[in-house]
Amino acid sequence: MKFAIALLLSVGTASAYTPPILATVKSKKQQLVQTPTSGVPFNVPSEALPWSNAPATLDGSLIGDVGFDPVGFSTCNMAEFFDKGATDSMSNVQWMREAEIAHGRIAQLAVLGFIIPALVGTFPGNEWTGLDAYSNTNPIEAVSQVPTLAFFQIVAAASWVELRRVNFIKEEGSSRVPGDIRLGQGEGRFNPLGLDYSEEEFKEKQLQEIKHCRLAMIGAIGLLLQNSNSGTDVVSQLSGAFVMPEYTAKAGYFLPVGI
């Protein structure tokens, strides 16, 4: 429930990006190449879209880079947009990865927020908040029932995390690993689980995270739209999907009545 609110607070940031306008030019081999107004050619074979090329900015240096950027977001001057005037900043592609991981992590929490309340249960209410303050398992409807102080608690916690992340970006500059919030293994980091991966294992975990982030962003949008359309929590809809229709119990009836 609370995680769903965090998702709604975050989706607006994507609207700040303005993709470059693509132009068609001919290379030396007289092959058509899509080039944005920024001058970055689309000449890298795309693993995600084998029939097209990706911008030259996607050179495979980032973990999880499969050349998916048909619009050309990676060619935008994100360093200038987010870190104007800075002399030591991440590259444009690293800024995009920073945003991708941040949104992906929020989306993963949002997916859990859509599922866990109906599957496991909600927080108990009390006389001060109201006995049913947290009882609604529909995340969209629950937003209007959550006490105002609880809502501000979510905003304050998210703001604290974001401010720390911004400070890390300023401190680390071009040496920053996108998405690093100083959790997990490493000297001076908060590592309550005692994680200690090898270099190869750590890269594999980074790949797993970015894949989960991308899947969660798609899943969160799907859950949000489905919940808005049906007005029912996700778990209730899933349970109904496994119910056998009555007409299937009759021999020879393979289609619903009337078809």
d(Cα 110, Cα 4) in Å, to the nearest integer? 5
What is the 8-class DSSP label of residue 203? H
* Average pLDDT for 137-163: 88
Instruction: Tell whether the model's pLDDT for residue 12 goes beyond 70.
Output: no
Instruction: Tell whether the model's pLDDT for residue 229 goes beyond 60.
Output: yes
d(Cα 225, Cα 84) in Å, to the nearest integer? 36
Nearest to 53 by CA among 62, 68, 65, 42: 42
What's the pLDDT tens digit per position in 96-106?
999 999 999 99
d(Cα 252, Cα 49) in Å, to the nearest integer? 45
Q: Work out the pLDDT band at 32, boundaries 50, 70, 90.
A: very low
Q: Which residues, including other chains, have CB under 8 Å from residue 111's CB and lie 6 or more apart?
A: 3, 216, 219, 220, 223
What's the pLDDT tens digit per position in 170-224?
999 999 999 999 999 888 889 999 999 999 999 999 999 999 999 999 999 999 9
Q: What share of the chain in percent tops pLDDT 70? A: 78
d(Cα 10, Cα 18) in Å, to the nearest integer? 17
d(Cα 18, Cα 53) in Å, to the nearest integer? 20
CA distances from 49 to 44, 69, 93, 187 (A): 11, 9, 19, 40
Q: Do residues 44 and 55 lie in contact, with contact meaning Cβ atoms separated by under 8 Å?
A: yes
